[in-house]
Structure 1
């Protein structure tokens, strides 16, 4: 009689088979997601769909093609808010947009857009900087339901008070209420904010460069990825950015251990703002690299 194995090991086998089923049946690869986050979400999926085990979840996944959409929705994390982390958006307003203003056309890629709140926040920043008419925001996610809700631009009215505070703390010049209409228990963002936003499907795990961008934002997505997948994604962002383009990550994320880190300068370490291929020139003196000062001499 085979020896029994611990429940945790059995669950890990079930999880491995679940991930294999997603890959082989639907070509969706979750193998590089952070293990603790993945098991937590798969357990929740099993509970939500009244499956007694992950194995039951896998059986439904294999034999019910329509079920995969609900699985993807459960595995992704479409959580955001308008002007989340206001100091980040203030920095974008004050430090990044004035530099992007030098381009005749501005392209922004917001990866992992969830329900669209941050994409609309960017649209408002661009509008108030007088740049929106020559800008385009590509907001992407692999969750089809999240993209549908993002295109609608309809959100619970209960969120408006927090978002209004965020907007003002981010240096807002008006009232956030100028950008939406309220009805019943919902707010709907002004349709003019949608004119230069394209919501599109893109999977950071498997897909390639999405566009050539002057600014890439991907905030609070990498924390759910394993180290190899983080590196793949950061390389993707690096390759998407024009030289001198900007990268904005979540406050718990960073470039420290990425192979592309050497090609970025730090604009604001605390706010996780970086600029690609834009380092001050330097000279080597006595084996020490010294940055140039403004008058062209080395500083020691």
Structure 2
């Protein structure tokens, strides 16, 4: 008699089939994300969206396009804050900006921009340092709803105290209140902050280089990738950076074990800011 797999093993099979279906149908590739994290998020999605099995969720995904954005809410992490880890932004301001000021024009890529908090933090910092006018900012994410939220630039009022304190600790030269006004039941950030911003759908998993950047900030995105996918993303960043360009990663991320580690030098080691080596 053939042994029937345990429910746990059946779940694993169904999850892999679901991820394969998501890739083949919509070209969103989560197959090499850290599986423990993906499994936890898919279980939450299955339960909250009302499906008894992952196979039932897969059937809905394949035949009902409206299910895609619902599922992506669970698979893409949308938790951030303005000037998160203020010491990172202080290091950008004090150590990286002096180098950036030597360029006549600049391109900055915020990869995995989520709801836009990191983007606005950098635009405000660049405005305070006199660099905004010569800079194009690219804000990318795979989640269309996140991109729409980022472009709207409206955040709950109860988050502004934290944002304001982070801005101060990051070396802010003005009051954060100068950049927003209360509206729509929240804090609406100045539309002028988006004047030089390009919002775009871009996947670190499947998409290619689209420009030459002087600074790339991609924080707390690769912690959800497995080693092969981390290498893929870091290779993309390497190929996207101009000579002596800068890469900022999250506090729990590192280049240390990447095959691309030799292409970068530590610039501000404690803040995970690296500089592209000469080509």
Q: What TM-score does the superposition give when structure 2 sets the normalisation length?
A: 0.97
Per the alignment, residue 212 of structure 1 pairs with 212
1:67 Cα deviation after fit: 1.4
1:155 is matched with 155
Cα distance per residue 1:120-172 (max 9 Å; x no partner): 11000100001110011101001000000100000100100000000000001
Distance 1:137 1:26 in 2: 27
For residues 73-96 of structure 1, what are the alpha-carbon distances to aligned partners after superposition, in whole Å with 9 as ceiling and x for unaligned? 221111111000000000000010
RMSD between aligned residues: 1.3
Larger Cα-atom Rg: 1
Task: Tell me how far apart the structure 2 counterparts of residues 72 and 184 of structure 1 sit (CA, whole Å).
Answer: 26
CA contact (8 A) 1:181 1:188 kept: yes
Cα distance in 1 for residues equivalent to 2:76 and 2:191: 27
Q: Which runs of 5+ in 1 are unaligned?
A: 280-300
The aligned counterpart of 2:114 is 114
Distance (whole Å) between structure 2 residues aligned to residue 41 and residue 210 of structure 1: 30
Answer whether contact 1:158 1:185 (CA < 8 A) is retained.
no
Q: State the distance in 2 between where 1:215 and 1:68 align.
A: 32
Q: Distance in 1 between matches of 2:138 and 2:4?
A: 51
SS of 1:216 mapped into structure 2: strand
| Partner SS state of residue 38, structure 2 | helix
**Contact 1:180/1:187, CA 8 A, preserved across alignment:** yes
Instruction: Give the secondary structure class of the aligned counterpart of 2:139.
Output: strand
- Number of residue pairs the alignment of both structures matches: 279
Residue 79 of structure 1: SS of its match in structure 2?
coil
Distance (Å, rounded) in 2 between the aligned partners of 1:67 and 1:258? 35
Q: Is 1:242 the equivalent of 2:242?
A: yes
Q: Which has the higher contact order (CA 8 A, sep 6+)?
A: 2
Give a deviation string over 1:196-215, Cα, whole Å, max 9, x none: 11111101110001221000
Residue in structure 1 matched with residue 68 of structure 2 by the alignment:
68
3-state secondary structure, aligned to 2:271:
coil
| 2:270 partner SS | coil
Higher helix share: 2
Q: Give runs of aligned pairs for residues 28-43 of structure 1, distance below 5 A.
A: 28-43=28-43
Counterpart Cα distance in 2 of 1:207 and 1:7: 35
Distance 1:64 1:4 in 2: 31
Distance 1:129 1:152 in 2: 24
Paired residues of 1:265 and 1:278 also in contact (CA < 8 A):
no
TM-score, normalising length from structure 1? 0.91
